[in-house]
Chain A
């Protein structure tokens, strides 16, 4: 069965510091993808970054980078230089061949000034 585990219900980080949000997954698919989305209090899910299972390089997108460790089945998100606007819920859904996204319970990030 496919599953996503985010073990950090909540995280605090000081403004301008880096933070790592953990994500582990379980799947029997050979080809899959990991996404990270941000959900502010307004409700909309905002796409941040994507990592494919066959991608050899870790994905990066501006201040976001993905620490992909395939053998450990982990895909942690690193946010560098945190900003107040980064405060939100963060999800790392797993995508498979059918394009169904499997979500975990998310991590609530609070950036403190």
Chain B
């Protein structure tokens, strides 16, 4: 595996379900990110982890719970979601979480549908 991978690629869940999204990066990076991409809206940064520590929570509802056990893995635990949470969830990584020129490498995303 190379780059940034995300599983599952597609997820359909009911509002009472609990599910998790997984992201793994094989680039030796130290920073990882979760973004939400809704139709016709700019990408929204949700969470940032730098060296396994959460450095950014962009006012995300508590029904989204991130976990970063090590610099290579990032999870997004989902529970009691709403239909408006349906979106493409993108994971990204970068060398670290500082510096203006740090290119972020993105995974293919998980397309989430909440019924």
Contacts and interface: CB of A to CB of B under 8 A. Distances in A.
| Bound pair (A, B) | yes
Interface of A: 4, 29, 31-33, 35, 37, 42-47, 50, 52-53, 91, 93, 95-106
Contacts of A44: 106-109
Interface of B: 31, 40-43, 45, 48, 56, 88, 90, 92, 94, 96-109, 111
Contacts of A43: 88, 90, 108-109, 111
Given A43-B88, A105-B41, A99 B108 contact: no
Contacts, number: 68
Contact of B100 (A37, A96, A102, A106): A96
Contacts of A52: 100-101
Contact of A99 (B97, B105, B106): B97
Contacts of A33: 100-101
Contact of A98 (B92, B98, B103, B107): B98
Contact of B43 (A50, A91, A96, A97): A91
B100 A101 contact: no
Given A100-B48, A101-B45, A103-B43, A95 B106 contact: no
Given A43-B88, A97-B100, A105 B45 contact: no
Given A35-B103, A50-B103, A96-B100, A45 B40 contact: no
A72 B98 CA distance: 26
Contacts of B97: 98-99
A4 B42 contact: yes
